[in-house]
Amino acid sequence: MKNYTKYSVGYYPPPMNPVEYDWPKKDHIETAPMWCSVDLRDGNQALIVPMSLQQKLDFFKYLVEIGFKEIEVGFPAASETEYEFLRALIEQDLIPDDVTVQVLTQSRVHIIDKTFEALKGAKNAIVHLYNSTSFAQRQQVFRASEKEIIDIAVEGATLMKKYAKENPETNFRFEYSPESFTGTEMEFALEICNKVIDIWEPTPEQPVIINLPATVQMSMPHVYANQIEYMSKNLHCRENVIVSLHPHNDRGTGVADAELGILAGGDRIEGTLFGNGERTGNVDIITLAMNMFTHGVDPKLDFSNILEAVEKYEEYTGMKVNPRQPYAGELVFAAFSGSHQDAIAKGMKWREETDPSRWTVPYLPIDPHDVGREYEADVIRINSQSGKGGIAYIIERDYGYALPKAMMAEIGYMMKDISDKRHEELAPAEIFEAFRKEYINDFTPIDITDATFSHFSSTKDDNEVYGVRMRVVIDGQTYNLEAEGNGRLDAVSNALRKTEYHFDYKFVTYSEHAISADSNSKAAAYVCIADKNDNYYWGVGTHADIILASVNALVSALNRMNKKIHFVK
C-alpha cells in the first residue's frame, strides 16, 4: 500500500473562502429535485449484455409508471439500436405528453444532425450536449487549449439552436455538460458554461439545463458541494438555469454527493435505479428518493412497492440487487440479533399504545409497510411478491433445511406461483408441505430400497474406487445391481445405467448437513442433476445415515426429471 505516494489530490476546489458557503448551514433537503432517469443510457451501456429493444420499451413504461417525467433514452447518433429505440417510442406513441425524452450528443455536426433527425415527431425533447473539459483530458487525450475546448462547445450549442428553430413542431430544451467537471478548474468550467448559456439565451419558459457531473469522483462530498455552490452562484441567467447533478460512485459516496449538491444549489438529479452504471455506478435514485421520504419530504416518485422495483430491475438488466441494499434488499428489515428483535418488538408495541401516526421504532428507519415490505424478525409473511430469501429463511428456521443458494430461486418461484394462484398468503406449514411434497424423498417410480457400499484405495496411486450393491425398483420391477465409480453417487449412477432404462444426466452440485436434534438427528442431502439440454433438477434426501440421505436425494432428483423426461427402455 505504499503506492499511495503516486496519488495526489486530483480535484480543483473553487476560488472561494469556505466561510462564504451557504450549504453547510442547511440540515435537510426541503423539496425533491427534478428527476431524470438515465437507466436506458448510462445504465444500459454498463451492462455485460445490453437490453433488447423490447426490454428497453418495457423499462421505459415502468419508469413512466413510477413517476419519472424526464428519461434519457440514449445516444441515437452513435448506435443504430438506440436510434431504433427512440423511433419506436415516437412512432408507437409511447411517450406521454407530460414526459420528456432526453438524448445525448457530442458536439459534431453530423452527430447533431442525426440526433435531430431521430427526434422527428417527438412532442418534448431535451438535447444533451457534452464535451470533456478536465485538465487531464485536455492535456492527455485531446491535447487542446482551453480556447479550442470552448470552441467545440460553442459550435455545438450554436448548431443546436439553429436546428431547434428549423423544427418548431417539437418543444426542445437544451442541456450542456462540461464532462469530467470535477477534474476541471472551476474558473474554466464556469467560463465554458456561461459561453453556452449566452448562446442559448434561456427564458423562464425555456430554461437551460447546466449539468455538472461527478464523471469520476475525485473528492470528498463536501468539496463537490463547494464546486456546485460556486457554479450556482456565478452562472449567467441563474434564474433561468436548472443546475443538474450527475454523480457517479467511484468513491462510494454518490448519494452523499447528490444530497450535499442539492443543498448547494442543485435543482435536478440524473441517476439510475439501484445505482447501475459504469465502474461503480451512477447515483442510486431509489436511495436518494427514500432518504427524502424518511425526512418527511415527498420524493415525487412512487416506490411503495419496492419489491416490484427489484423484480423489474433484475428482469430488464440481468443484474442482482444486493441483500443489504438500502430499503430494497432482502435482509434490510430482518433482524437476526436477539437484542435488535426485542427492541423492535417493544418499539412496535409502544407506537401502538402512544402515537401510531409517527414512526420512531428502534433499528428501523422506515416503516417496512411504506415500501410494501414486512418486518421479518419473528414472522416472515409469504405471498406472491415474496423473495426467495424469506422463503428459505422460513424453511431453515422452522424445519432445519438449509437450502443451497443455487436452489433458493427455484423454491421461491414455486411458492410465489402457489400463492399467486391461491390469491392468498402462505403459512410456514403450507410452505414446508409444498417443499416436502415436491422435493423430499420422492420414491416414485424409481426407488433404491437397499444399498451397500465398499471403498477401495490403491497403494500404487491416488485413485479411489467406490463399489455399490443395491436393489432398485423401477415401475414395479426389481433389479439387483452392482457397479463401481469414483464416488458413491457415481457408483449408483453407473449401476442404474446397467438397467434397460436410458438414464442420461450429469451431476451439477451436491451438499449435505445435519438437521437439528429436534428432528431425530436426521441428515439432509441436496443433489442437482442436469439433462443433456442443461435443464436442472433438484432432489432432497433425508435419512439417519448421511450416505443413504444422499442416495435418496439422487433418487428424488431423478424422479423429478422423469416427470419432464420419461426414462425409456
The answer to whether residues 421 and 468 belong to one domain is no
Choose among 246, 318, 325: nearest CA to 47.
Answer: 318
Domain boundary among 409, 435, 461: 435
Task: Quote the strand ranges of 80-236, DSSP E.
Answer: 100-106, 124-132, 171-179, 208-214
Q: What is residue 10's predicted lDDT score, i.e. its pLDDT?
A: 74
Peptide bond into 445 cis (omega under 30): yes
Q: Is 553 in the same domain as 497? A: yes
Of 383, 405, 435, at which residue does a domain stop?
A: 435
Does residue 222 carry a pLDDT above 50? Answer: yes
CATH number of the structural domain spanning residue 179: 3.20.20.70
Which pLDDT tens digit goes with each residue over 97-117? 999 999 999 999 999 999 999
Average pLDDT, the chain: 91
Domain boundary among 317, 349, 373: 317
The answer to whether residues 185 and 49 belong to one domain is yes
**Do 141 and 262 share a domain, yes or no?**
yes
pLDDT band at 92 (very low <50, low <70, confident <90, very high): very high
Q: Residue 376's pLDDT is what?
A: 57
Decide if 269 contacts 36 (C-beta within 8 A). yes
Using 50, 70 and 90 to split pLDDT, how confident is the model at 172?
A: very high
Higher-pLDDT residue of 64 and 334 is 64
Choose among 48, 37, 39: nearest CA to 319.
48
Lowest mean pLDDT among 153-157, 222-226, 229-233, 363-367: 363-367
Q: What is the amino acid identity at position 246?
A: H
pLDDT of residue 8: 82
- What is the per-residue pLDDT for 2? 86
Residues 356 and 292 in one domain: no
Average pLDDT over residues 243-265: 98
Are residues 475 and 393 both part of a single domain? no
The predicted structure's pLDDT at residue 377: 45
325 lies in a domain? no
Residue 13 lies in a domain: no
Q: In which band, very low, low, confident or very high, does the pLDDT at 463 lie, cut at 50, 70 and 90?
A: confident
What SS3 string covers 489-545? HHHHHHHHCCCCCCCCCEEEEEEEEECCHHHCCCEEEEEEEECCCCCEEEEEEEECC
pLDDT beyond 90 at 33 = yes
> In the chain, pLDDT over 70 holds for what percent of residues?
93
Q: Residue 141 has what DSSP assignment? A: I
* 12 in a structural domain: no
Across 356-371, average pLDDT: 91
Identify whether residues 495 and 420 lie together within a single domain: no
Residue 360 lies in a domain: yes
Domain range for 372 is 338-435
Asked whether the whole model's pTM tops 0.85, one would answer no
Asked if residue 19 belongs to a domain, the reply is no
Does residue 332 sit within a domain?
no
Q: Taking 50 as the threshold, does the pLDDT of residue 547 lie above it?
A: yes
In a domain, 253, yes or no: yes
CA distance 527 to 510: 5
pLDDT at 338: 44
How high is the pLDDT of residue 44?
A: 94
Percent of the chain's residues with pLDDT above 90: 77
Do both 108 and 74 map to the same domain? yes
Give the burial class of 355: count Cβ atoms within 10 A of its Cβ; 0-12 exposed, 13-18 middle, 19 or more buried: exposed
CATH number of the domain within which 485 lies: 3.30.160.270
pLDDT per position as a tens digit, 426-450: 888 999 999 999 999 999 999 999 9
Is residue 378 very low, low, confident or very high in pLDDT (cuts 50, 70, 90)?
A: very low
Residue 22 lies in a domain: no
Are residues 490 and 370 part of one domain? no
If you average pLDDT over residues 161-182, what whole number do you get?
A: 97
C-alpha cell at 303: 416506490
Which pLDDT score, from 0 to 100, does residue 359 have?
Answer: 92
Q: Is the pLDDT at 379 greater than 70, yes or no?
A: no
Q: Same structural domain for residues 478 and 427?
A: no
pLDDT on residue 457 = 79
Q: Would you list the DSSP string of 454-474?
A: EEEE-SSSS-EEEEEEEEEEE
AA identity, residue 119: L
Q: Which of these ranges, 76-85, 372-381, 388-397, has the smallest mean pLDDT?
A: 372-381
CB 249 within 8 A of CB 281: yes
Give me the mean pLDDT over the 16-23 stretch: 81
Question: Is the domain of 52 the same as that of 130?
Answer: yes
Kindly tell me if the per-residue pLDDT of 340 is higher than 80. no
Instruction: State the total domains in the chain.
Output: 3
| Dist CA 50 CA 78 (whole Å) | 15
Cα-based angle 8, 10, 15 (whole degrees, multiple of 5):
120
Q: Give the mean model confidence (pLDDT) for residues 41-52.
A: 94
Helix axes 221-234, 186-200, angle to 10 degrees: 40
For residue 519, is pLDDT > 70? no
Per the model's pLDDT, the better-predicted residue between 15 and 421 turns out to be: 421
pLDDT the model gives residue 469: 96
pLDDT exceeds cutoff 80 at 262: yes
Residues 390, 453 within the same domain = no
> pLDDT at residue 374 above 90?
no
User: Residue 307 burial (CB < 10 Å; 0-12/13-18/19+)?
Assistant: middle
